[in-house]
Amino acid sequence: MALVSLAALVAGARSGKLVSFPTDTVPALAVRPDRSADIFTLKQRSLDKPLILMAASWQEFLPFLDTSHPALETWEQVAQKYFAGAVTLVLPASDRGCKLNQGFKTLGVRIPDSKMAIAILQQTGAMLTTSANKSNQPPYRRMLEIHDAFPSVITLGDGIDITEQSGSGLPSTVVEWTTEGWLVRRQGAVNF
């Protein structure tokens, strides 16, 4: 595969291929929600490390979340405050959402604060994502590094400097809804 245009990346993503594009934190490896196994295989990632669902709008997450949950309104208020941004909310998942990460009843959701990522996600719909790296290695920050490390991945190359570091380099802050309220699971770029 080559470094490609936005249109080629979107077409590849829609057809179920693994893609990579910049976000506000670190570049993402992304795939359609029905193809999650492809990311685990590529990264040699343990199945107990869940992927997150990234989208361009809150509404796109709803089919994957437990919308009958009494705290739904609270989640929406927090999402309005922190999205788009470097915060991942871990919320109770619907049956469909539970299928995305084996053995998990929750799902991490995030809207990145990146015009490029939003432009892609508006055309692909929600995508399962993780950082672009081999498991337990630091994330790649340059699109050229991702292309070299994962030649089978369709990597964005047009309209950006492929040799420049992408994003802040800091992971998103991960917060999970629990019966006691919000619990910070990973302190990242944003104080919650």
pLDDT digits (tens, 9 = 90+) for 61-102: 999 999 999 999 999 999 999 999 999 999 999 999 999 999
| Cα–Cα dist 15/9, whole Å | 10
Task: Identify the pLDDT of residue 136.
Answer: 87
Looking at the DSSP bridge assignments, the partners of residue 116 are none
Neighbours of 181 (CB within 10 A): 10
What backbone phi and psi angles, to 5 degrees, belong to 186? -150, 120
Cβ partners under 8 Å of residue 147, min gap 6: 1, 2, 3, 20, 153, 155, 157, 162
- Give per-residue pLDDT as tens, 44-72: 899 899 999 999 999 999 999 999 999 99
Query: What pLDDT sits at residue 135?
Result: 84
Helix (H, G, I), strand (E, B) or coil at 82: helix
H or E element in which residue 156 lies = strand 154-156
The residue-averaged pLDDT of 108-126 equals 97
